[in-house]
Amino acid sequence: MASKGEKISKSKGNSKVEPRELVKTHSADSIRYWAGTGRLGNDIIFSEETLARGQKLINKLWNVSKFIEMHIHDYNENKEKFKEEVKEYNDLEYIDKWILAKYEEMEKGYLKYLEEYEIGIALNHLEKFFWNFCDDYIEIVKHRLYRPEEFGERARYSGQKTVYTLLFKLIQAFSIYLPYVTEEIYHELYMNDMNIPSIHITSIENLNIEDKNKEIYLNIGNTIMDIISELRGEKTNNNVSLKTPFSIVEIDVNSDILDGITKAEKDFKATVTIENLKLNDKQTSLENNFNILKSELIIEEK
């Protein structure tokens, strides 16, 4: 359908772009992405904006794969080194457990929609997770990956294991929509380890995290993301760089999540750039799990 809901027709002048030209401009994957946004039983409106959105997704997927590739060159070596220390889900760093639990939560909905032939809703579900993975999790874990001398080699390996696992899960899930870029990433990063010639014949295995504290990790991780968002917003409102440090941040947090936030404190402080962090055990329940009492930015005078 054309943008006004009309049938595409040369006589109506609403067919300005030849399919071959679209492939040259936007790539085959972005056209397939557009086709994948449709709803079961409904006509789909042609939209170059959707093609552009698909290309943006493809570029981001490729770029994040290059970032991960840069940090997993010694993954197999570390896998052997930490095989006794980091074997199970519960051995991972707190934020790593959170993002894996988030993926499992998303994956259940994604697979359910595919079974119902709602490929457009499944794509939307998957894409929303992917952007949060990039904007939230990668921004946190990158400090551990870049600075093992500060965070420790074990913590770095926990991050390596998580990004290696999740990128594979993501390219599997995206492969039905973006077959070419996912195949390229698979060949670059996974084929030698898995000894299977194509991403398109690998088996999707659900994460199936068996941990009684999984919901706790989700709750605490989501709360940490909310705190980070609020503190980033303060920097934006003050028109300063996100790298601008806080000299001190003081936060009241609910008792039931204090331990988890404390365990993730190093990741949290590095992400928002906090020099001194004070967490207060709030016995009475706070509506949003936390309340920021004090946050002082170090703003240099020009």
Output the average pLDDT for the chain: 90
- Whether 256 and 139 map to the same domain: the answer is no
Q: Above pLDDT 70, what percent of the chain? A: 92
265 within domain boundaries? yes
Q: How many CA atoms lie within 13 A of 253 on its CB side?
A: 22
- Whether 275 and 183 map to the same domain: the answer is no
Work out the average pLDDT over 122-146. 97
Instruction: Tell me how far apart the alpha carbons of residues 212 and 216 are, in angstroms, rounded to a whole number.
Output: 9
- Whether 28 and 147 map to the same domain: the answer is yes
Q: pLDDT at position 2, please? A: 44
pTM of the model: 0.90
Q: What angle do CA 291, 292, 297 make, to 5 degrees?
A: 170
pLDDT, tens only, 29-39: 998 998 899 87
Three-state secondary structure readout of 151-218: HCHHHHHHHHHHHHHHHHHHHHHHCCCCHHHHHHHHHHHCHHHHCCCCHHHCCCCCCCCCCCCHHHHH
Work out the average pLDDT over 119-128. 96
pLDDT, tens only, 32-60: 998 899 877 667 777 788 899 999 999 99
What's the total number of domains in the chain? 2
- Cα 249 from chain centroid? 26
Q: pLDDT at position 6, please? A: 53
Which stretch of DSSP H or E encloses residue 254?
strand 246-254
Q: pLDDT at position 48, please? A: 81
- Whether 234 and 188 map to the same domain: the answer is no
- Whether 191 and 271 map to the same domain: the answer is no
At 12, is the pLDDT very low, low, confident or very high (cuts 50, 70, 90)?
A: low
Query: How many other CB atoms are found less than 10 A from the CB of residue 164?
Result: 20
Instruction: Tell me how far apart the alpha carbons of residues 240 and 297 are, in angstroms, rounded to a whole number.
Output: 9
DSSP state of 91: G
1 within domain boundaries? no
207 within domain boundaries? no
Contact between residue 58 and residue 33 where contact means Cβ atoms under 8 Å apart: yes
Q: pLDDT at position 8, please? A: 53
Q: pLDDT at position 186, please? A: 98
- Cα 25 from chain centroid? 27
Domain of 274? 226-297
Q: Which two tokens stand for residue 173?
A: 């899930």
More confident residue, 20 or 276: 276
122 within domain boundaries? yes
At 95, is the pLDDT very low, low, confident or very high (cuts 50, 70, 90)?
A: very high
More confident residue, 160 or 301: 160
57 within domain boundaries? yes
At 1, is the pLDDT very low, low, confident or very high (cuts 50, 70, 90)?
A: very low
Q: pLDDT at position 100, please? A: 97
Of 160, 185, 201, which closes a domain?
201
- In this predicted structure, the answer to whether residue 259 has a pLDDT above a threshold of 80 is yes
- Whether 41 and 163 map to the same domain: the answer is yes
Q: pLDDT at position 41, please? A: 67
Q: pLDDT at position 288, please? A: 84
More confident residue, 248 or 282: 248
pLDDT, tens only, 194-239: 999 999 999 988 888 888 889 999 999 999 999 999 999 999 999 9
Work out the average pLDDT over 180-196. 96
- Whether 238 and 103 map to the same domain: the answer is no
- Whether 123 and 267 map to the same domain: the answer is no
Q: pLDDT at position 15, please? A: 56
Tokens 């020099």 sit on residue: 275
Q: What is the CATH number of the domain that holds 156?
A: 1.10.730.10
195-204: list long-range contacts, CB under 8 Å, 24+ apart: 199/171, 199/172, 199/175, 200/175, 202/172, 204/111, 204/172, 204/173
Q: pLDDT at position 73, please? A: 94
- Whether 191 and 268 map to the same domain: the answer is no
Contact between residue 137 and residue 110 where contact means Cβ atoms under 8 Å apart: no
76 within domain boundaries? yes
Work out the average pLDDT over 134-144. 97
- Whether 49 and 116 map to the same domain: the answer is yes
Burial 119-158, CB ≥16 within 10 A → b, else e: bbbbbebbbebbeebeebbbebbbbbbeebeebeebbbbb
